[in-house]
Chains A and B, each alone.
Chain A
Amino acid sequence: MTASTDDERSLIEAAQADPARFLELYDRYVDRVYAYVSRRAGSRVAAEDITSAVFEQALTKLSTFEWRGVPFAAWIFRIAANALTDHWRREGRDAHDPPPDVPDEREYRDLEQRVSLFQLVDRLPDTQRQVIQMRFVDGCSIRDVAVALGRSEGAVKQLQLRALESLRKSMGHHG
Chain B
Amino acid sequence: MADEPLIDRLDRIIDALVAREDATAALGDAEAAPLARVAAELRHYPRRDFTMRLRAQLEGRTKMATAVAARNIRAGFTSVTPYVWVPDRGFADFLVRVFDAVETSVAENPGHGTHRELRIGSSMLMIGETGEHGGSASPRPVAFHVFVEDADAVFAKALNAGGTSLGEPADRPYGERSGFIRDSYGNHWYIATSLGPSAVPKELRTITPFLHAQNVGEYIGFLQRAFGAVEEARHEMPGGAVPYARVRIGDAALEMGGPVDPMPGAYFLYVDDADAVYEQALVAGATSLSAPADRPTGDRIAFVQDPLGNHWYIARSI
Chain A residues with a Cβ under 8 A of chain B: 18-20, 22-23, 26-27, 30-31, 34-35, 38-39, 44, 47-48, 51-52, 55-56, 59-60, 114, 117-118, 121-122, 132-133, 135-137, 139, 141-142, 157-158, 160-161, 164-165, 167-168, 171
Contact B65 A19 (CB under 8 A): yes
Q: Provide the bound-state CA to CA distance between A135 and B41, in Å.
A: 13
Contact between chains at A117 and B41 (CB < 8 Å):
yes
Query: Contact mask B36-51 → A, CB, 8 Å, 1/0?
Result: 0111011111111011
A164 and B39 within 8 A (CB): yes
- Other-chain residue from A39, A56, A122, A157 in contact with B44 (beta carbon distance below 8 A): A39
Nearest CB in chain B to that of A161: its residue: B7
Among the listed B8, B59, B66, B230, which residue makes an inter-chain contact with A157, where contact means beta carbons less than 8 Å apart?
B8
A165–B58 touching, CB < 8 Å: no
Interface residues of B, dominant DSSP = helix
Cross-chain pairs A/B with CB under 8 angstroms, 22 sampled: A18-B66, A19-B62, A19-B65, A20-B63, A26-B55, A31-B46, A51-B54, A52-B54, A52-B57, A56-B58, A114-B41, A117-B41, A118-B45, A118-B46, A122-B48, A132-B42, A133-B45, A133-B47, A157-B7, A157-B11, A161-B7, A165-B35
Q: What residues of chain A lie closer than 8 Å to B34, measured between beta carbons?
A: 168
Specify which chain B residues have a CB less than 8 angstroms from the CB of A26 in the assembled complex.
Answer: 54-55, 58
Q: How far is the CA of A19 from the CA of B272 in the complex (A)?
A: 15
A60 to B57, CA, bound (A): 13
> Which B14-64 residues have a C-beta within 8 angstroms of A?
14-15, 18, 34-35, 37-39, 41-48, 50-51, 54-55, 57-59, 61-63
Q: Is B86 an interface residue (CB 8 A)?
A: no
Cα–Cα, bound, A132→B11 (Å): 12
Interchain CB contact under 8 A, A38 and B44: yes
* Minimum Cβ distance to chain A for residue B16 (Å): 12
For residue A121, give the distance in angstroms from its CB to the closest CB of chain B: 6
User: If A55-B58, A59-B61, A168-B38 touch, does A30 touch B44 (CB 8 Å cutoff)?
Assistant: no
Does A35 contact B44, Cβ atoms closer than 8 Å? Answer: yes
Question: How many residue pairs, one in A and one in B, have C-beta atoms under 8 Å apart?
Answer: 106
The one of A20, A39, A157, A164 in contact with B38, judged by C-beta atoms closer than 8 angstroms, is A164
The minimal Cβ–Cβ distance linking B68 to chain A, given in whole angstroms, is 10
Residue in A closest to B35 when the chains form the complex, CB atoms: A164
Q: Which residues of A contact B7 (CB under 8 A)?
A: 157-158, 160-161
Q: Which of B10, B44, B46, B55 contacts A160 (CB 8 A)?
A: B10
CB-based contact A20/B51 at 8 Å: no
> Which residues of A have CB within 8 Å of B63?
20
- Best-buried of B7, B38, B57, B63 by chain A (most CB within 10 Å): B38
**Whole-angstrom CA separation of A27 from B54 in the bound complex:** 11
Q: In the assembled complex, how far is the CB of residue A163 from the closest CB belonging to chain B, in whole angstroms?
A: 9
Which residues of A are found within 8 Å of B11, using beta-carbon distances?
Answer: 142, 157, 160
Residues of A within 8 A of B50 (CB): 48, 51
Contacts of B61 in A (CB 8 A): 19, 56, 59
Known: A18-B66, A55-B58. A135 touches B45 (CB 8 A): no
Contact (Cβ within 8 A) A139 B18: yes
Interface 1/0 per residue, B188-231 and A, CB below 8 Å: 00000000000000000000000000000000000000000011
CA distance in complex: A30, B51 (Å): 7
| Residues in chain B near residue A117, CB distance under 8 A | 38, 41-42, 45
Pairs A-B, 9 closest by C-beta atoms: A19-B62, A38-B44, A19-B65, A136-B42, A164-B35, A34-B46, A20-B62, A157-B7, A168-B38
Q: Which residues of B contact A20 (CB under 8 A)?
A: 59, 62-63, 66
- A38-B65 in contact (CB<8A): no
Q: Is the CB of B62 within 8 A of A161?
A: no
Cα A10 to Cα B122 in complex, Å, equals 35
The residues of A that contact B65 with a CB separation of less than 8 Å are 19
The one of B6, B39, B48, B59 that contacts A23, using a Cβ cutoff of 8 Å:
B59
Contacts of B57 in A (CB 8 A): 52
Residues of the B chain whose Cβ atoms lie less than 8 Å from the Cβ of A48: 46-47, 50
